[in-house]
């Protein structure tokens, strides 16, 4: 089974919930934890940090054009047809801005002199670590300025599949973009976590459109519910039977994570609240 923890908005407690659930599930199931937030992976931090990874795998999932100026006649067709404005004509020659290029290949296809070729680019890496809680963590990182976050997530999941598991628990990126779509593909169940703010509620509805598109069953958790109990009640009523549970706000959480102490190793109220969510989740998954 593949369980995805997702959120429309960032900073609502997704990685906190994912890490704690992973540790709870690991007590009686063979699991693999997967950090699919390739732009800003932090699941390792919530699991106590990693001093040294067991394995680091380079990822090459995109390409970038290289121009042979001996063949190029400066016609400018590549620049005119680049929808990302990644190619500009400078002194009669095309120049590629690597930070705008999406590696689509239009320039290569349209060049009448065959002066442009796409070359593979190493744009990220995958890190693997079997932690002290006796389950592997597979985490991916897109290099700064590179493209292909969704493709990197697909490669992360491929590596995770190499482990034997009963449950793969996936920490998705926030939002509704490519890495979220890649995380949800093939998922069996999704836990959506939100916060009682207007932006949190709005973004929850947006990511729910993606979840429903893939026809993935889901339930909803409200984090920091007590910062706005009125809106929390509204979200809970809106969720109806999909409501799974809620977690109260506690600034001690930030002290714990800054000291690399997982929630399950604290005596915080948060620990008990997530244990209740875990129990309800288990009952629903069986």
CA torsion sign for 88, 93, 94, 97 is negative
- Predicted pLDDT of residue 202: 97
- CATH fold label, 62-121: Alpha-Beta Plaits (3.30.70)
- Beta strand 87-90 with 93-96 is antiparallel
Tell me the CATH class for 2-60+124-285: alpha beta
> Does pLDDT of 28 surpass 70?
yes
Is 43 within 8 Å of 173 (Cβ atoms)?
A: no
The arithmetic mean of pLDDT across residues 152-160, rounded, is 97
What's phi and psi for 102, nearest 5 deg?
-105, 0
Question: What are the sequence ranges of the domains in the chain?
Answer: 2-60+124-285, 62-121
pLDDT level of residue 286 (50, 70, 90 thresholds): low
19: CB partners within 8 A, 6+ apart: 33, 43, 46, 47, 171, 262, 263
Residue 47, token pair as written in the block: 């699991």
Q: Residues 163-197: pLDDT tens digits?
A: 999 999 999 999 999 999 999 999 999 999 999 99
Q: How confident is the model at residue 145 (pLDDT cuts 50, 70, 90)?
A: confident
| Residue 284 pLDDT class (50, 70, 90 cuts) | confident
């Amino acid at each position: 089974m593949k369980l995805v923890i997702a959120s429309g908005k960032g900073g609502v407690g997704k990685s906190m919930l994912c890490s704690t659930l992973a540790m709870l599930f690991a007590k009686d199931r063979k699991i693999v934890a997967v950090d699919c937030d390739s732009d800003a992976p932090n699941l390792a931090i919530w699991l106590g940090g990693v001093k040294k990874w067991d394995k680091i795998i380079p990822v090459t999932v995109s390409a970038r054009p290289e121009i042979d100026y001996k063949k190029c006649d400066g016609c400018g067709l590549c620049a005119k047809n680049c929808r990302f404005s990644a190619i500009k004509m400078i002194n009669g020659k095309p120049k590629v801005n690597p930070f705008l290029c999406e590696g689509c290949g239009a320039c290569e296809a349209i060049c009448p002199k065959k002066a442009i070729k796409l070359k593979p680019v190493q744009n990220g890496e995958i890190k693997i670590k079997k932690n002290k809680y006796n389950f592997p963590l597979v985490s991916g990182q897109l290099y700064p300025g590179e493209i292909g976050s969704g493709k990197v997530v697909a490669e992360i999941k491929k590596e995770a599949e190499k482990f034997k598991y009963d449950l793969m628990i996936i920490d998705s990126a926030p939002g509704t973009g490519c890495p979220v779509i890649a995380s949800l593909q093939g998922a069996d169940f999704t836990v959506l976590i939100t916060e009682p703010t207007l932006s949190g509620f709005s973004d929850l509805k947006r990511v729910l459109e993606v979840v429903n598109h893939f026809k993935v069953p889901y339930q909803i958790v409200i984090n920091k519910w007590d910062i706005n109990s009125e809106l929390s009640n509204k979200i809970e009523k809106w969720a109806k039977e999909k409501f799974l549970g809620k977690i109260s706000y506690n600034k001690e959480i930030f002290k714990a994570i800054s000291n690399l102490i997982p929630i399950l190793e604290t005596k915080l109220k948060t620990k008990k609240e997530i244990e209740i969510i875990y129990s309800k989740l288990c009952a629903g998954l069986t």
